[in-house]
Each structure stands twice: as C-alpha cells, then as structure tokens.
Structure 1
Amino acid sequence: MNPANQTHQDLSNSFPKSSRLLTPNEFKFVFAQAEKFTNRHWTFIVRPNDLLHPRLGLAIAKKQLAKAVWRNRVKRLAREAFRQHSKALSGYDIVVLGRHKMQEVDNETLNQSFLHLIRQIKRSGLKDKPSLSLTEVKEK
C-alpha cells in the first residue's frame, strides 16, 4: 500500500513509537511510583503520565513463557488490545507483564482478561493522585 494513499482510519490504527515505552528510564519512571493491577492472566504496572496519549511497555519474561512463539503471541495480543482501547487509557504509562501458563489460554480469554484490567484502571482514579515527574525520577 502506498503511504500517500493511507486513510485517516489507517493512521489511527497504527502503533507509533510515541505510544511505546522504549528506554530504561521510561520503564524506571513507571516502576518508581506505580499501581499494580492483576488478574489470572496479566499483570499491569500502571502510572499516570503527563501526556495526552497512553504508552505501553512489554516485559514478557522467558521464565514465565519459555518459548519465543508463546511470548510473541502474548505481546501481539497485548499490543492489539492496547491499540484498540488507547482512548480509554489516555494519560497512562502501562508495563504489561505476562503470567505463567498464558500459552494454554485461548486468545479470546486473554483479550477479555486484558479488557477487565483496562476497566479496573479507568475506575481506579489513579490520575487524581499526585506523582513524581519523569525528570524527578531521572535525578534519583
């Protein structure tokens, strides 16, 4: 597909670098003062950010999911669910951790479980709590 011919919808369905946690300092920022949301299949480490969009970091450990194909499937599912519900998560940085035996769970169950945690984050009122800025975390 020619990039000049992309529609607005195609662009809104992308997962740009600005929506990703990429550097160790960005991950440290989330872990420094975070809330943990967990269920049977996922663990989310969540912290409000000062941006108008959410950012996602993936930390799917080999210890939890031994085979690369399992880890890649879980990351693909997490990115897609995050992308589809990014408006609901605006203003949050989220690090997604996988749980043991996720490879045995079907995609629909994992997706519903992911959405359950998104609803918990929205209800938490986490954005209303004061937190450190990214520059304050870098100084520590």
Structure 2
Amino acid sequence: MSDQGFPSSLRLLNARDYRRVFDRAEFKVHGEGLMALAISNELGHPRVGLVFSKKHARRAVDRNRLKRLVRESIRLRQRCLPSVDIVVLAKRGVTELDNATLHRQLQSMWQRLRRHSQKRLASTS
C-alpha cells in the first residue's frame, strides 16, 4: 500500500510559522475564492497552512471540504512546487464554487506561484 497521507512535514504547525508568512509574504497569488501568501523556506519542500474563517465559509462542512481539497492538491503537486511556506485563505464566495472549479483554481495558483518563485530566484542569481 502506498503512503497517501498528508505528513506533518508538509504542514505549517505553529503560530510562529503562520506569523512569518503573514508578516513577510514574498508572493501573493489570487484565485477565485482563494488567496495564497507564500515565503521561501530552506527545507527543500513546500509546507502549507490553511485559514478558512467562519466569515467566508459559514458551515463546518464547507470549511472541511476546502481543507480537504487544498491538502489533496498540495499532496499531488508537492514535487512541482517550489520550496515555500504557503498560507491559503478563503475569500468571499468560495463556498459557491464546486470541487472541479476549486481544483482548477488551485492548479492555476500553484503554477503562478512556481513562476513567481522562479523569477525571484533568477533575479537574485
């Protein structure tokens, strides 16, 4: 059986990690209903934190669905993503989007994040 989990090495685990991303975000990527803030890390792999408030996703079932979709997207694309810490936030109207639309939004956001990261890496070299 293959390991299909979402290990703690792929997660932002404490408030200090979240605060670091919020205070010093190098990248900001918007999607329909979602936004991602990111900052480079030295770990060699991406980590993700999720912030889905009751203000934008009223029902727990909606917040849990969003979390599940983002985790799955990161798990499947972790090898393609740059070495960054990412915080994904919900925006107004996110609960009206279906799963297929959210998957497309996330894939587009990860591609833009990878491009921004590559540009920054090229400009610092």
TM-score for both structures, normalised by structure 1 = 0.80
The count of residues paired between Structure 1 and Structure 2 equals: 121
Which of structures 1 and 2 has the bigger CA Rg? 1
Q: What is residue 81 of structure 2 aligned with on the other side?
A: 89
> For 1:126 and 1:108, how far apart are their aligned partners in 2?
29
The CA deviation at 1:14 is 2.0
Q: Which residue of 2 aligns with 1:68?
A: 60
Number of the residue aligned with 1:28: 19
Specify the alignment match of 1:52 in structure 2. Answer: 44
Question: Which ranges of structure 1 fall in alignment gaps of 5 or more residues?
Answer: 1-5, 131-140
Give the distance between the partners of 1:119 and 1:112, measured in 2 at CA. 11
| Larger CA deviation: 31-40 vs 66-75 | 31-40
Any idea what the Cα deviations from partners look like across 1:48-91, whole Å, max 9, x if unmatched? 10011110100011111111111111111010011111111141
Which blocks of at least 5 consecutive residues in structure 2 are unaligned? Answer: none
TM-score by length of 2: 0.89
Q: Residues 54 and 86 of structure 1 are in contact (CA less than 8 Å); yes or no, is this contact kept in structure 2?
A: yes
- Aligned residues with identical type, % of pairs: 35
SS at match of 1:88: coil
Give the CA deviation at 1:41. 2.0
* Distance apart, 1:127 and its partner CA: 5.4
CA RMSD of aligned residues (A): 1.5
